[in-house]
Amino acid sequence: MILVAGSANLDFVVRAGHIPAPGETVLGHSLATHPGGKGANQAVAAARAGAATTHMLLALGADAHAEPLEQSLREAGVQAHIVRCADTATGTAFICVSDDAENAITVAPGANARLAPHHLPPLDGYSHLLMQLETPLPTVIAYARAARAAGVRVVLNAAPAQALDDELLALVDILIVNEGELTSIAGAGGRVRDALDRLRVPLVVVTLGARGCCARQAQQFLLQPGFSIEPVDTTGAGDTFCGVLVAALDRGAPLASALQSACAASALACTRAGAQTAIPDNATVERWLAAQPAPGDARMAALRAACGLDN
């Protein structure tokens, strides 16, 4: 059983030819609203991955923006533990998606900033606690400390990127980051392998966009190449990866299999618009995976080189 503690936002999504530069006005094609927020996206992804009972702790305002978020969680089968903030708006995100599927996101945290240490429910029965960094950092640390004391595995998706101190990292069992987030935490750029060598977290997974992902566990590296797709919207792809990965580990899947499922679900999510609306279920992922060719030597070699593992 998984507990996701984190953010929920109503996403306002404008599609446009390109993402505006500073000071530029761009005419968009359309506006739509979608349920989102890193925490809620990951909870939906974990629930749709199958076999994992998923709960979520979140904070919402007492406003109209809260209902679509609650409905999305209910429809995905997520059991929500809601902190209701009557004097604060529900979190929102303003997203511009370009015609080549890239995005730029600005978040107004709203009620997400009110999630506090005392809101954590009892942790009996949970195997994993999955968190992100769209809620207050002291709250994230308090939850990680409580989970460690309860014997619950702490999974942190360290996004949005920021520097983290050793106190939090010492409490984390699984760290999931992209390349930019890895650089922020490790304190320097360079090769993925070199940055990973500076982190003492037992399992670190680095997502590498279309190239796939790299995991380091007990000084052993696992690589999973990405899949070829025609992207429509990359919003929520990383969140899909996180939720599916934790769901697979919760049901006892080997790490290599969990990484493959997470990469496949993330790729499929990029072929549809929206965040939670684009997250596939486990049956869809399995059917799609069965039809995919094995990665060739050239793709694996390129991934090894990108991670600094080619020598």
What is the C-alpha separation between 122 and 118, in angstroms, rounded? Answer: 10
Q: Which of 239, 250, 281, 297 is catalytic?
A: 239
Does residue 233 have an active-site annotation? Answer: no
* Cα dihedral value 198, 131, 124, 55, nearest 10: -150
Instruction: Tell me the three-class secondary structure of 26-77, residue by residue.
Output: CCEEEEEEEEECHHHHHHHHHHHCCCCCEEEEEEEECCCCHHHHHHHHHHHC
What is the C-alpha separation between 68 and 131, in angstroms, rounded? Answer: 22
Q: Within its chain, how far is the Cα of 158 from the centroid?
A: 9
What is the C-alpha separation between 45 and 172, in angstroms, rounded? Answer: 21
Among all chains, which residue has been given the structure tokens 């790299």?
214
Q: Which residues are catalytic?
A: 239
